[in-house]
Amino acid sequence: MRSVGVIGAGQMGAGIAQVSAAAGYHVYLSDLDLEKAEAGKAGISKALDRLVAKEKMSRNEADTLLSRIEPVANYEPMADAGLIIEAATEREEIKRKIFESVGKILGHQAVLASNTSSIPITRLSQASPDPTRFIGVHFFNPVPVMGLIEVIRGLATSDGTVKVIETYGAALGKQMVYANDAPGFIVNRVLMPMINEACFALGEGVASIRDIDTACQLGLNHPMGPLTLADFIGLDTCLEITNVLLTSTGDPKFRPAPILQKYVEAGWFGRKVKRGFYDYSGEIPVPTR
Ligand code: CAA
């Protein structure tokens, strides 16, 4: 396999494009329009500049990597890609539309994958032309830094499709874990209840935002506290995944904390809007409560 298609040039899609190009694949990067795809590539270019400045990468390596990323206006150029990964907005109807369109140009041997963090793979595969060649590949943010890919088989996914992902994941230098097509797979099944519990603790006045984060960061040796991490992931995303866990299992232990719902209702989605549990408008994040 020489080329990979990436659909969605946001934070996840751009990260996937970057690590794929670093592994030597030619990458077709698409988004709603060419301008957005090009903006995704420009973001990768900036990230590479930082690596060059820190002497983690030579200018030559960075230029070679960038030259492998081709922003495209539509899916047609992806017809020769051995693997197409969808990393678009986490909304089922958007993803289904993408699979229907891209399915028209998907090569006869090619694999179609979704980076969904919470939508069942078997259900999504129904919008693809061939569910045997459909699979979940769940990356983590920031993609260039995080070493893991969760691999999720749908009911019909073939062994050959899993092999394609294993070869690809190994080329990227990522560790792969295999999860069944169960709500939240592995990481979010464990992570979202932790974040949600931190929100309950905050709402019940157990401790301040800062102290909850410091306690977990230093007491558990996590790189960031749960409320900082929630802001990093996006509070809307955390709420959405928690709701998926609740509705698909019916287990009340997954009910979202009222304070998480409140912040989302306020539009305080976290870092991407500069306000969540912390205010990011200044140089140092300041707790909002
Ligand atoms: N792209 C590339 N490199 C990045 C980066 C990015 N966006 N962000 C940070 N880095 C690199 C830095 O260059 C730095 O590299 P060196 O050590 O080689 O210099 C390294 O990562 C550490 O970065 P910083 O010093 O700037 O900051 P930090 O030490 O605070 O680390 C962090 C930042 C890597 C984000 C760290 O805090 C962390 O690992 N946090 C937890 C992240 C996490 O849990 N992600 C998973 C979220 S869940 C998810 O994604 C799935 C889902 O479905 C919701």
Q: What are the extents of the domains in the chain?
A: 3-179, 188-280
The model's pLDDT over 256-271, given as tens digits with 9 standing for 90+, comes to 999 999 999 999 999 9
Q: Find the helix packing angle between 11-22 and 159-172, rounded to 10°.
A: 80
Helix ranges (DSSP H) in the chain: 11-22, 34-53, 59-67, 92-103, 121-125, 159-172, 187-203, 209-219, 226-233, 235-249, 258-265
pLDDT averaged over every residue in the chain: 97
Task: Identify the CATH class of 188-280.
Answer: mainly alpha
Which atom of ligand 1 lies nearest, measured to the CA of 237? 54
Ligand 1: residues with CB < 6 A are 47, 54, 56, 117, 140-142, 144-146, 188, 223-224, 229, 233, 237
Q: Which of the listed residues 48, 89, 145, 185 should we mutate to test ligand 1's pocket, taking the one with most ligand atoms within 8 A of CB? A: 145
- Alpha carbons 255 and 173: distance in angstroms, whole number: 36
Which atom of ligand 1 lies nearest, measured to the CA of 232? 47
Q: Averaged in consecutive runs of 10 residues, what is the pLDDT profile of the chain (289 residues)?
A: 97 97 98 98 98 97 98 97 96 96 97 96 97 98 98 98 98 98 96 98 98 98 98 96 96 98 98 97 96
| Amino acid 80: pLDDT | 96
pTM of the model: 0.95
Task: Identify the CATH class of 3-179.
Answer: alpha beta
| Amino acid 161: pLDDT | 98
